[in-house]
Amino acid sequence: MSDRRELVIVTAIAGLLEGVNHVAVGALSPIAGAAALLARERSNGGMRVSMLGSARHNFFTDGGRELFDCAAQGRIDAFFLGGAQIDGRANVNLVGTGDYPRSDVRFAGSFGSAHLYFVVPRVILLQPEHSRRTLVSEVDFVSAPGVSPPGVYRPGGPVALVTGRCVFRFDRDAARFSLVSVHPGETVETIREHTGFDYDAAGRVPTTPEPDAETLALLRGDVARGLAETYPEFAARVLGQAA
């Protein structure tokens, strides 16, 4: 049996990173990092992973600035982005809640999220906490917009949202999410109950498949050992691998 976070890691790469040549992972992103490393293992080394904060899995010498430059040149195919709030138009809030600038709660800030959201073709949103606090009808502050007005040059944007309860796909033309699978133990009704924005759903929504034994062995073995260099606590606690 897999841990829910392991399910999210595997889900985050299932079909979402196929055909990707270069995936970048931001700082403080162990779930995204594990997903990227697992995707690379499955590609037999045919995928490049750039993970900020890592010496082993980072080819940049100047951190974020090189990442942004590389993305602007079209040399990054996929990126993972989280948000304290995400709404139904895939707007992301990394600044704070409440009436800005007198926010009730302040977060770490946007960093380069708005830039990467515009130029990376395949942005996968990750939010392990699936609740009406995090998935809201409208974000309090737009750190990075999910869609842009007609006429705005924008090669990048969101393709999916993976949470601790389900997987949504994002339609950029409709500016709307659709529910594509619910994780084991969840139902269409529980997803509606815990989601603050409206979305589309088919008459029958499948259950997200559990990782098979071979995938779990790879995740808890080679992937966990590679991740432990940057995220030793997560690799040990979640994947059972000491640094």
Mean pLDDT of all residues in 151-177: 97
Mean pLDDT of all residues in 17-44: 93
What is the spatial distance between Cα 228 and Cα 223, in angstroms, rounded to a whole number? Answer: 9
Q: What is the pLDDT of residues 185-214, one digit of tens each?
A: 999 999 999 999 999 999 899 999 999 999
Residue 207: beta bridge partners?
Answer: 182
Which pLDDT score is estimated for 243? 56
**What band does 113 get if pLDDT is binned at 50, 70 and 90?**
very high
Q: How many residues are given for the chain?
A: 243
Backbone phi, psi, residue 13, to 5°? -110, -15
Calculate the average pLDDT of the chain.
Answer: 93
Instruction: Please check whether the domain covering 4-237 is classified as CATH 3.40.50.970.
Output: no
Residue 199 — left, alpha, or beta (φ > 0 → left; ψ -120 to 50 → alpha)?
A: beta
What is the spatial distance between Cα 239 and Cα 108, in angstroms, rounded to a whole number? Answer: 27
3-state DSSP assignment of residue 133: coil
Q: What is the pLDDT of residues 46-73, one digit of tens each?
A: 899 999 989 899 888 877 889 999 999 9
Which pLDDT score is estimated for 85? 98
Beta pairing class for 85-87 and 92-93 = antiparallel
Tell me: pLDDT of 83 over 90.
yes
